[in-house]
Amino acid sequence: MTAPSRTARIRALARTDRPAAEAELAAFIAELFDIPVSDLRINVDQYSLNSLNGFFMSGSAGRFFKFHQEEGEEAMRGEYYRADILARAGLPVDQPLHMSTLPGEQLLVYAKREDPRFSDVLFALDQHDDPAATERAARAEAALNDHILACARESLTPITPEQSAAEPVHRLFHERLVAPETRAYPGGRLASFYVGKDFLFPGGLRLHWDQLSTATPVINGLEYRHTLGEIFDRAHARYAPARLADAGGIVGHGDAHNANVWYERGTDGDRLSFFDPAFAGDHLPALVAEVKSTFHNIFAHPFWLYNPEMAAERFAARVDYADARLTIDTDWAPTPVRRRLLEIKVAHFWKPWLAHLAAQGMLPADWEEVIRLGLFLSPTLVMNLNAGEGADRHNPVSSAIGLSVALAAGSRPVEGEDDFTRMFTRMAPIAASGG
Q: Please give the DSSP secondary-structure letter assigned to residue 224.
A: B
How many domains is the chain partitioned into structurally?
A: 2
Residue 304, Cα to own-chain centre: how many angstroms?
A: 14
> Which of left, alpha, beta for 49 (phi over 0: left; psi -120 to 50: alpha)?
alpha
Neighbour tally for 417: CB within 10 Å: 13
74-83, 112-121, 145-154, 179-188: segment of lowest average pLDDT: 74-83
Question: 219 and 353 in one domain?
Answer: yes
pLDDT computed for residue 72 by the predictor = 56
Q: Helix 396-410 vs helix 228-238: angle between axes, to the nearest 10 degrees? A: 50
124 and 206 both lie in a single domain: yes
Determine the Cα–Cα distance for residues 170 and 176; give it in Å rounded to an integer: 8
**Using CA atoms, how far apart are residues 181 and 196, in angstroms rounded to an integer?**
21
Is residue 105 situated within a structural domain?
A: yes
Dihedral over Cα of 160, 166, 167, 171: its sign: positive
Q: Are residues 263 and 291 in the same domain?
A: yes
Predicted pLDDT of residue 51: 77
Q: What is the pLDDT of residue 2?
A: 57
What average pLDDT does range 314-318 have in this prediction?
A: 98
User: Is 281 domain-assigned?
Assistant: yes
Instruction: For residues 130 and 93, state if they share a domain.
Output: no
Whole domain around residue 303: which residue ranges?
118-427
The count of other CB atoms within 10 Å of the CB of residue 135 is 12
Over the Cα atoms of the chain, what is R_g? 21
pLDDT single digits (tens) 161-190: 999 999 999 999 999 999 988 999 999 999
Do 168 and 363 meet the contact criterion of CB atoms below 8 Å apart? no
On whether both 97 and 135 belong to a single domain, the answer is no
Helix (H, G, I), strand (E, B) or coil at 96: coil
Domain shared by 223 and 283, yes or no: yes
The band of 69, judged by pLDDT with boundaries at 50, 70 and 90, is low
335-354 burial: b if 16+ Cβ within 10 Å, else e = bebbebbbbbbbebbbbbbb
The model's pLDDT over 362-394, given as tens digits with 9 standing for 90+, comes to 999 999 999 999 999 999 999 999 999 989 899
